[in-house]
Chains A and B, each alone.
Chain A
């Protein structure tokens, strides 16, 4: 397994997109921190960029990468290797290199400029989101045979998690504003890892007062240890479930 991961990472490094992504993150985070006197303001700007850019790059790059490695996968499947090993190696290779890219690009500036608990939360959230969106991309890639369709599905999924989901939640809130939905909102937020990360970080930043009563309920719940534990386990499930489904699917796939 280690050997295949090695070849996957070598291949990813060779095509330079990940290096460009790292550089891009580095430029953005450095300029954001240098623009503002107050680094926590910089952190807030960085948060918004991270929550949009990281899922986008991770999901699209991984989907395209999976389609481009069709030949590689085909070659390995006829070798004495477990299919699960091949698939998981690709996942580890992609998730590993994109997480490292994020760590170098955004993590190091955060550690330099804002080594607070909020900063570390943002760093963790970025890495967790990278892994989750690689997992989702793998699922999208294994479900559709056609490359264009697969990439389309990946973009739609990103749109859903970044924009559509929030729109739906707002719509629900306005329609049902006469009912006490605050507790249910916690449950609903579990269906979107991006939102979950955003809430976690905003709560750390003490701007939750801006979110009104819902913010207070969130703070009550996510501020506690059980809340954090709940969050961590939901995010973990967001990594494991897509990978597990894609492995199952890949085991039966005809090549």
Chain B
């Protein structure tokens, strides 16, 4: 699958999902169990992405490097209610700084 195919396919699916809320009868999506799973889904996916992006290399091997310290600082910033962009820039700055000092 080329990158363009992925971009356009993901966009088409995203739109179809958005539109489904407008055209599908409410009872199809409104069940108690369905709601519990669909509200847990972003939590599981985002947490998995945090894990993979923080602790694994592009080949999938587990690697502890400057990213872990950067994410720890990001979490501290979130505890202190920093806005999204501050959290992201702070993490980049920590990782860039540590690498400037010669760490992986």
Q: Do A and B bind each other?
A: no
